[in-house]
Amino acid sequence: MRIRHGRRRVMDVLFADDFLAVVDKPAGLMVHDSALARGETDFAADRLREQFGRPIHLVHRLDRATSGCLLLAFDRDTASALGRQLMAQGFDKDYLAICRGWPEPAAGVIDHPLDGGPGKPQKKPAQTAYTTLATAEVDWPSAQHPTSRYALLRCSPLTGRFRQIRRHLKHIHHHLVGDTSHGDGRHNLAFRMRGLHRMLLHAQHLGFTHPADGRRVDVHAPGDGEWNRAAQLLGFPTP
């Protein structure tokens, strides 16, 4: 469903009712103004207020470079109920990630404490479950190797720390492709040379209990054009 309102580019609506909505945030769009904005004037929160023509309350965040499911509420009570559910780890959040190398084991939990980002040095427990969905080896030389290996992962953060998936993949030396902060520059360059410039992290599935009536809500976001081109280049399935 696509709602058009005003002059800003609208976002695809994946689910909506009188209480809440899940939209498909494009890669490259900041969710809201912050110290990291650095002169930006276009934010998802502003677009969504204009798009729906009513106040909105963002229930969680996505990094600027991440695409996919973004949940919002239309009133404070719904936002508070969803926030409590999120804090109690009552959400299912599944991301698709393309990383360098083939993780071993192919599935597991990365358990590594993380700080809260700039100005928040205290480390807190952080866990990310992952499963390898597909692997590829392509004839792109990398360092001393004649080929490069990549994997498509499903990553499910069990906690909600700053840039958690990106930092956890770096921790296990399977850097997220396209991540300019925590990734591997050689592999990022290999994809840029093939016309792929986005970070390859996509919030593909969001599942939660609807606070108004208790029903289960599961929403899936399709991949955008650049994500799908990256997947096809490696022979991976597209979401």
- Residues forming the active site: 63
Dist. CA 70–CA 208, nearest whole Å: 12
CA 231 to chain centre: 16
List b or e across 44-67, with b for residues whose CB sees 16 or more CB atoms inside 10 angstroms: bbbbbbebbeeebbbbbbbbbbbb
Distance from the first to the final alpha carbon of the chain: 18
Dist. CA 164–CA 109, nearest whole Å: 13
Q: Kindly tell me the burial class for residue 16, based on how many C-beta atoms sit within 10 Å of its own C-beta (0-12, 13-18, 19 or more).
A: middle
Coil vs helix vs strand at 109: strand
- DSSP alpha helix (H) spans, the chain: 44-52, 76-87, 164-171, 185-192, 225-234
Task: Decide if 223 contacts 239 (C-beta within 8 A).
Answer: yes
Radius of gyration of the chain (CA): 18
Dist. CA 101–CA 173, nearest whole Å: 8
Dist. CA 214–CA 58, nearest whole Å: 20
